[in-house]
Structure 1
């Protein structure tokens, strides 16, 4: 029975991945989120885990010790908007992440979850990944973490300081895992601009989490160790670093 670990499983992409995989025959899902989870499905096993808290991550690793993990879908993360600015501009994401409003607390919290949290989780479950044959780790990154993409004349260049920097750090961390743990396949993926609870409004051009997941499922099945350490969009096209 293959085992799939899905982080950020309470909503958005994580919840959509749980729904997509739970109906597959003989599949066991480990769903984790910092918010308590409940499910009526016998093959979905829920754990409350705050990936930014090392003690929480280590306790979870002890709970699943000795259980091989075949696939990880890592979608836990935050957008890094300044809370006070978001209170003033709930319908304007861009206004909540500019140079002028960005503060140290928002930057630190975003790095703690998006970058450090990823490192802590992956390091803690390495033995589970190594215990499975041909295991894969699929990381929901963002094109906004691409340094090459963040330049004029790209209309989406600039700003988003906490999110861009934390996703660039995330990309580097995952590349290092790919180099240090060659027996596991690590893939970075931009799922598209997805409508989630990371922001309070629906961003222009945002697609549903279900639409994003349906485009990613065949790619996840196709990606192999030759793809490890690479960065793709939801159509399978390479994204520059």
Structure 2
């Protein structure tokens, strides 16, 4: 199985590895990142795979997003992956919450994924598989929250899960499947060196979830290994 996939945040970590695995499998990969000139690993990947193209995109710059969507208006997209995100400052406790940073986290993790779907909805409608994967996090699960804290990042992921659920309902009549995805605690710059899962294993699992998804899965929250996560 192959097709066209658009992935945001491909300069490192999960986005970079996802671009690598899909390109290796023969997919046309549209990889975006804020500053392609500084994304040397992604550039090397594009040199090795002529089926991978790089486009600059800050997902919170909605003018730039509209321009990219216009430039790709004749390109059907089978799978759209909203991967780009922002954790914000770590170790922020109640009593010292930075409201401006909170707004930045919500902008990148909650609003931008929805605007991404808006921009590329015609491309998805023209695709054959019609799958949207939004990278969420298990820390956004209200049921799973037993430790408290993490107000900025947790709230942004809980909110994007609600976005996923509404998108799944609103796009059902177009045959578009929308999933919230937890990549696991991954050894990336964001996950840190103590994380439990390699980026390769995480992406391998996420890729399988995306490629096996259909309308029966839409509006649900999945771990990278395919197991469901409670909201």
Q: State the TM-score, normalizing by the size of structure 1.
A: 0.86
Match of 1:46 among 34, 54, 67: 54
* Native 8 Å contact 2:113 2:134 kept in 1: no
Match of 1:184 among 157, 165, 176: 176
Cα deviation, residue 205, structure 1: 3.4
- 2:119 corresponding residue in structure 1: 124
Where does 1:207-226 land on structure 2 (aligned, <5 Å)?
207-226=197-216
Gaps of 5+ in 1: 82-92, 152-156
**2 CA distance for matches of 1:34 and 1:128?**
21
Cα deviation, residue 208, structure 1: 2.0
Where does 1:69-88 land on structure 2 (aligned, <5 Å)?
69-81=77-89
- 1:90 corresponding residue in structure 2: none
- Match status 1:22 vs 2:23: yes
Gaps of 5+ in 2: none
- 2:108 corresponding residue in structure 1: 113
Cα deviation, residue 98, structure 1: 2.2
**2 CA distance for matches of 1:149 and 1:232?**
13
**2 CA distance for matches of 1:174 and 1:232?**
12
RMSD of aligned C-alpha atoms?
1.5
- 2:151 corresponding residue in structure 1: 161
- 1:85 corresponding residue in structure 2: none
- Match status 1:229 vs 2:208: no
Cα deviation, residue 110, structure 1: 0.2
Cα deviation, residue 195, structure 1: 1.9
What SS is found at the alignment partner of 2:216? helix
- 1:59 corresponding residue in structure 2: 67
* Native 8 Å contact 1:80 1:97 kept in 2: no
Cα deviation, residue 217, structure 1: 2.4
* Native 8 Å contact 2:3 2:28 kept in 1: yes
Deviation per residue, 1:157-195 (Å, 9 max, x gap): 211111000001111111111111112111111110112
- 2:33 corresponding residue in structure 1: 33
Cα deviation, residue 114, structure 1: 0.5
| Residue-pair matches, total | 220
**Greater CA drift, 5-14 or 188-197:** 188-197
Where does 1:134-149 land on structure 2 (aligned, <5 Å)?
134-149=129-144
**1 CA distance for matches of 2:223 and 2:132?**
15
- 1:86 corresponding residue in structure 2: none
